[in-house]
Structure formats: C-alpha cells, structure tokens
C-alpha cells in the first residue's frame, strides 16, 4: 500500500470527521445546554441535505455561487424549522425525564422522515460539487480531492468560531449560565427561554450546514439521518457534553478510524464508533473533554 493511498484514506477520514463534527457540535450544544436528548437532530440534518439538493437544481448546480447560496440559505431554513419545533414541542419537555424526551423526539423522527419521503421521494440524490472544488489538488506531487481539502479548512474555522461564541462572547456566557444558574440569569433581566430558543436554533443551524456539506460529499437518501444521529451520540459521549474540542476530537477519532478500518476490516467499521464509546464510558464516563457533574 503506497503513501498516496494512505494519505488519501487519511484525508477522506478527516473530511468525513469534519462533517460529523459540524453535525455533532449542534447535538452536543443542545444536549449539553438544554439537557434534551434530541433524536430528531439527524432528521434535521437529512432535511438540510435534501433542501440543498432542491436549491442546487434551482441555482444550476455546479457554480461556486450556487454552492455559496446553499450555505447561506439552507442552515437558516433548518434553524427556522427548529424554531417552530422548539416553540411548539421541545419547550414543553425541558427538565422532563429522558424517557419522555426519547419518545417524543423519536416520534418526531418518524414524522419528519415521512414528510421528507412525501416531498422528495425515496430515491438516492446527490448535489454536484462546484467546479472549483470538483477536481484534485497537487500537494507535493500527490493528488487529493479539492472538496475534501476544503472541508479540512472549514471544520477548524467553524470550531474556532463556536469556541469564541461560547467562551469569549456575552451570548456564550448567557448560554453557559442557562445550564447551571437559570434562576440567577433570569434575575439579572435575561430572557432565559429566549436564550434556550436561540441555542436550539443554533444546533439546528449546524445540522443544516452539515447537511449541505455532506450532500456534496456523498449520496443522500432517507437513511442518512438515522445513521448519522447514532454516530453523533457516540461523538458526544466520547468528547463530553457541550465541549467544542471534545466534539472535534470525537469526530476525528470516528472519521479516521472508520476510514482505515473499512480498508482492512470492513465488517468492523460499523461497530468501531460504539466500541470507542463503550471504552470511554468505562474509563471516563463524562467524556474526554467533559467535566463530571456534581
């Protein structure tokens, strides 16, 4: 096995990990701040991918302008859908027992998946990559897919932006305070329900953005939501609740690990994320970057 092939697998695993990070960071944020097990997060990601498919046809596909429009329009669209869900449903299950949350969000998965099938059908879809990112890039005599390299740039930039938002901005202070000191935050005049709504919308925005990027990386169908949400839960457990760095590390472990295991032990690729998750739960139950709750 030559060096170029090994690096190609590595780049592919890293790029898959970056998309997984974008989606899982939204789930980690909602789970960590709102304490809601949102099983429907994967369906929101799937809807974002199908919205990208529809808009790519509207904007004539392969131009850079079309792809930028997908990035600008789809995530806010999914966030607005999330706003409707938060106001009508999720607001009623905050601080409820996890079994009730799981039942409600799984019911929502069935509804959203059914609506997606009704609107887009059950066929496999794909979104063309913009021409500027469709080819390969020569790096030191080795050729790598331009789109995968693009994702390797976008992922860390987004992680830095999320870290700044959560730990260096007033909005981030409100979000983190809403977890542990909601009454005190309300006494200071902050509208705590509004903070929680915006946090939920941010998680949905990230799910939609992940759907845009994945739609140009691989084929999309009705199964991608369920497949991805299970991986996202593994990422959250591995990295720790509400941790941007933990979500990044967990996503890279799963993305790169699965990419290489598919080459050598293809049957083990499906269980690899859950083996890592189980090991982390045994050794460090609060996650690699998480903090134990008191």
In a domain, 87, yes or no: yes
Contacts of residue 20, Cβ cutoff 8 Å, sequence gap at least 6: 210, 228, 231, 232, 235, 251, 254, 255
Whole-number pLDDT of residue 47: 97
Residues 245-269 pLDDT 10s: 999 999 999 999 999 999 888 888 8
pLDDT at 41 over 70: yes
Number of domains in the chain: 1
Give me the CATH number covering residue 279. Answer: 1.10.3470
pLDDT at 60 over 90: no
| % of the chain exceeding 90 in pLDDT | 61
DSSP state of 125: B
| Domain region containing 75 | 9-283
Is 294 part of any domain? no
| Whole-number average pLDDT of the chain | 90
- pLDDT at residue 167 above 80? yes
Alpha helices in the chain (DSSP H): 3-34, 41-58, 64-88, 98-120, 131-134, 146-167, 170-180, 182-187, 192-215, 224-239, 244-264, 272-283
**Is there a domain that residue 2 lies in?**
no
> Residue 140 above 80 pLDDT?
no
- The pLDDT tens digits of the residues spanning 213-247 come to 999 999 999 999 998 999 999 999 999 888 889 99
Structure confidence by residue, pLDDT tens digits, 82-110: 999 999 999 988 888 888 999 999 999 99
239/241 Cα distance (integer angstroms): 7
Length in residues, the chain: 294
Is position 166 within any domain? yes
pLDDT at 256: 94
Q: Over the Cα atoms of the chain, what is R_g?
A: 19
Residue 294, pLDDT above cutoff 70: no
Assigned domain for 291 exists:
no
């Amino acid at each position: 096995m030559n060096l170029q092939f090994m690096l190609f697998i590595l780049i592919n695993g890293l790029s898959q990990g970056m998309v997984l990070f974008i989606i899982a960071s939204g789930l980690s944020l909602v789970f960590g701040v709102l304490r809601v097990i949102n099983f429907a997060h994967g369906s929101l990601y799937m809807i974002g991918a199908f919205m990208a498919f529809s808009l790519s046809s509207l904007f004539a596909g392969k131009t850079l302008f079309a792809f930028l429009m997908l990035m600008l329009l789809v995530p806010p669209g999914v966030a607005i859908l999330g706003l409707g869900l938060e106001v009508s449903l999720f607001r009623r299950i905050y601080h409820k027992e996890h079994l009730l949350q799981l039942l409600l969000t799984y019911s929502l998965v069935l509804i959203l998946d059914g609506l997606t099938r009704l609107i887009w059908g059950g066929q496999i879809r794909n979104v063309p990559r913009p021409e500027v990112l469709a080819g390969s890039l020569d790096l030191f005599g080795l050729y790598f897919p331009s789109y995968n390299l693009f994702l390797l740039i976008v992922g860390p930039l987004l992680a830095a932006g999320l870290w700044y938002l959560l730990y260096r901005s007033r909005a981030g202070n409100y979000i983190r305070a809403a977890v542990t000191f909601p009454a005190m935050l309300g006494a200071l005049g902050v509208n705590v329900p509004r903070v929680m709504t915006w946090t939920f919308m941010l998680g949905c925005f990230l799910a939609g953005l992940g759907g845009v990027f994945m739609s140009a990386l691989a084929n999309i169908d009705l199964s991608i939501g369920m497949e991805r949400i299970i991986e996202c839960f593994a990422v959250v457990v591995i990295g720790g609740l509400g941790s941007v760095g933990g979500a990044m590390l967990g996503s890279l472990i799963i993305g790169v690990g699965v990419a290489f295991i598919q080459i050598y032990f293809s049957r083990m690729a499906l269980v690899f994320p859950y083996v890592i998750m189980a090991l982390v739960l045994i050794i460090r139950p609060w996650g690699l970057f998480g903090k134990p709750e008191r």
